[in-house]
Structure 1
Amino acid sequence: MLIDRYNSQLLMVDVQERLAPAIADIAGVEAQIAILLRTAREMAVPVIISEQYRKGLGGTLPSLAGLMPGVQPIEKMEFSCFANADLQAALSGNPGNATILCGIEAHVCVLQTALEMRAAGRLVFVVADAVGSRRPESRSVALDRMRMAGIDVVTTEMVLFEWLRSAAAPEFKPVSQLIR
C-alpha cells in the first residue's frame, strides 16, 4: 500500500535536547527528520510532536522545533505515545489516517508507539533512516521486531515520493530540492 498524503499524519517522537546527543548518528537522523518536517509543512500533512518528561530531557531540538512553529509538543511520561491520553486523542483525530513515525529511541518509545497503534488497527509506517537509538543494534532489532509485527518500515525518500505521487505535483520541485 502506498502512503497517501491526504490520509497521513507525521509523529515525531521525543527528539529532545538532553537525549539526542546520546543517539548514534544523531546528525543523520536529525537531517532526515528535518526533511520530513519540511515536506509535511509544504504538503499540509499534519504533524504531532511528543516530548518525554520535558523537565528531565529538555525540549525538542531547536533546529527541528523551528521547522514547525505552530505545533505545540505534547508531553508524556509513558513510553508509548499511544498510551498517553492527549497523544492518543491527537493521533486518533482521523481514524483512517496512516501515521508516519520518526524520532528516538527506536527500541523504546518509537517501538512501543508503533506496536500499540498497530494492535489498535492503525496503519503505521516507521521511517528507518529517521529513527535512532543509543546503540545501533538496538535500532536494528527494533526495526526487525516492527516488521515482524506487520508495521511497514520505509525510508524518508519513500515517504516523500509516495506523498508526491507525480513529478507533476506542484510541490515536486521544492520537495525534490530537499534531498539533493
Structure 2
Amino acid sequence: MSLPLLDRTNCALIFVDQQAGLAFGVGSEDRQVLLNNSIALAKTGKVFGLPIVASTSATKVYSGPMMPALQRAIPEVAAIDRRNMNAWEDDTVREAIIQTGRKKLLVSGMLTEACVSFLALSAANDGYEVFVVGDACGGLTLRSHELALTRMQSAGIHMTSWIQVLLELQRDWTRHDTYDGARAIVEEFGGGYGIGLAYSRDMIKP
C-alpha cells in the first residue's frame, strides 16, 4: 500500500542558516521556542535515520556557526558554509542534497523570507517535493514570516510542524525500533502531549 505520507526511507532533513546572528533578528517566534523546535526536529531526524544536510552562511563576518545546542543534537553533521543567500545556488550544498537520494525535503531554518524560501522554491522548481517545517523556521516579523509561508505554499510547497513530522514518521507506536527515541523527544519537547505520555508511563499500568 502506497501512502502520501512522509516515510523514513523517502525524505531528507535540511537545516539552513540555523545561526545565532540570524536568530537575533527573528521576531516571528520566541527564539527559545524556535531553537527547541529545531532541536526536536534534529533529534527526530536522528531517531528515524534521515540523511541530514546543514548549511551556514557568513559565519566569520556576522552570523556565527550553527547554534551550539542544535549542533550538539547532530554532532556528526558538519555544516557547509557558503556566501550566497540561496543554498540551492551553492554547488556543494545542492550536490550534498542530491547525494542523499531523497526526493522529499524537510526544510528548517532562518530567515523564512530569504534563505528558507529561496532554497525551498528553487528545489521545488527542480522537481523536489518540499516540506517547510514552519515552527522550526524564523522570520523577521510574524507578518513577513507568514507571507513567506503563503508564497511557498502557493508554489506547491507543503507546510508542516516538527511534531507532525515525528508522528508521521512513527505512525504506529508498536514500531519498537523507534518507539523509545520518538517518545523521549515528545516527552522533552511536546508540551502537554509530552506531559501526558510521561504520566501514562508512570501512572497507568497495563
TM-score, normalised on structure 1?
Answer: 0.95
Aligned twin of 1:178 = 185
Aligned twin of 1:20 = 23
Aligned twin of 2:142 = 136
Task: Find the aligned partners of 2:84 and 2:174 in 1 and give their Cα distance.
Answer: 42
Residues matched between the structures, number: 180
Counterpart amino acid of residue 114 in structure 1: A
Q: 2:156 aligns with which of 142, 150, 169?
A: 150
**Contact in 1 for aligned 2:12/2:102 (Cα 8 Å):** no
Q: Displacement of 1:123 after TM fit?
A: 1.0
Q: Displacement of 1:89 after TM fit?
A: 0.2
Q: Which runs of 5+ in 2 are unaligned?
A: 187-193, 195-206
Q: Which runs of 5+ in 1 are unaligned?
A: none
Aligned twin of 1:71 = 77
Identity %: 27
SS at structure 1 position matched to 2:15: strand
Aligned twin of 1:7 = 10
1:122–1:76 distance in 2 versus 1, CA, 3 Å = same
Q: 1:105 aligns with which of 104, 107, 111?
A: 111
- RMSD between aligned alpha carbons? 1.2
Is 1:44 the counterpart of 2:40 in the alignment? no
Aligned twin of 2:204 = none
1:143-173 CA distance string (max 9 Å, x none): 0001100000011111111111211112123
SS at structure 1 position matched to 2:130: strand
Q: Displacement of 1:65 after TM fit?
A: 0.7
Q: Displacement of 1:22 after TM fit?
A: 2.0
TM-score, normalised on structure 2?
Answer: 0.84
Task: Find the aligned partners of 1:72 and 1:64 in 2 and give their Cα distance.
Answer: 12
